[in-house]
Amino acid sequence: MSQQNIQPLNKTAHANTKIKAQKNFAHAASQHLAPVVVHEFSRAAAEFPVVFVKNAESGTFQPVALFGVKPGENLYTATERWEGTYAPASVTQFPLALVPESAENDKFMVVIATETAVVNEDEGNALFDENGEETEYLAKRKEALGTYYEHAHITRAFTKELADKDLFVQQNLDINVGEEKIAINGIYLVDEKKLNELSDEDYLALRKRGFLAPIYAHLNSMHQMHRLIQKKAALSA
């Protein structure tokens, strides 16, 4: 949400603001990956490779869905409609987001990116009614943002557990698209061998926390790499 004039949502400043329905999520056109939360793994994994990337500064891991095989390339925004049956919440919640009010407290505020094609005052879903009250549309969007925040918290616990158990392995993928050879570097996968070598106690702990299903969804999602290669080949043809 950079360079799009991010403002705290305000019933006075945004009294007439509307958000148009998005068919294509064009704001994500230069994103070759986007964050996903564990609660999305099963749906996302049916569409995209779901992998992990590592923050170079903090050393923490983040699960992401791959939309392209090269940085800056999103194969799902190539036409007027999103080229898939699912889009992650980190993409669909735009132009709204939830951010901390300050570093000192745990309160959050809703912000809106105003300089984008989907935000205007003429058409779309109104955020406030004529009395300055939140519309049902905005209430639902805010509820979804709150749920996503909770899920992101659980996702951080999930990735920390995998990292603590040393289950991540870095993977460099070399793929061929027609005559072009493309290297995908810097992604991490759960090492299935290490997973199977866990003690019964550690494996059971993962199961009890509900972490096994997303782990296997992630592993199975690597079959979707073929889908990305097909999309890339079709666009390059």
- pLDDT, tens digit, 9 for 90 and up, residues 22-55: 888 999 999 999 999 999 999 999 999 999 999 8
**Quick one: which H or E segment has residue 210?**
none
As for how many domains the chain has, the answer is: 1
Residue 34's domain comprises: 25-87+132-236
36, part of any domain: yes
Flag whether 45 is in a domain.
yes
Mean pLDDT, the chain, rounded, equals 91
Per-residue pLDDT reduced to its tens digit, 77-117: 988 889 999 999 999 999 999 988 776 667 889 999 998 88
Domain presence at residue 10? no
| pLDDT at residue 199 is higher than 70 | yes
Residue 189, pLDDT above cutoff 90:
yes
Residue 127 within a domain: no
pLDDT band at 3 (very low <50, low <70, confident <90, very high): low
DSSP 8-state class, residue 119: E
